[in-house]
Amino acid sequence: EVLFAGCIPVILSDEIGLPFDDFLDWTTFSLKWPMGEVSPALVQHLEDLLANERPLVRAMHANVLRYRCWFDYNSEDPEC
């Protein structure tokens, strides 16, 4: 749902196996944060990304839009 809303996912699970990881480089369109370190520091990190790393955020967002079709069972996008 996050991808279809056009948002960059923040993954808080340390042990999760991500789907399509053989085909998709999750680091290009999501952020991973250790569960044990969820705190106001996460919010600060996200705010810092928006303030200081705008080109990176734009690239990640573009990749969200590019790869979200992988999560749509009915997608007819030839890139997926």
Mapping DSSP onto H, E and C, the string for the chain reads CCCCCCCCCEECCCCCCCCCCCCCCHHHCCEECCHHHCCHHHHHHHHHHHHHCHHHHHHHHHHHHHHHHHHCCCCCCCCC
pLDDT value of residue 27: 97
**Rounded CA separation 65/80 (Å):** 12
pLDDT value of residue 1: 87
Tens-binned pLDDT, residue by residue, of the chain (80 aa)? 899 999 999 999 888 999 999 999 999 999 999 999 999 999 999 999 999 999 999 999 999 999 999 999 998 988 88
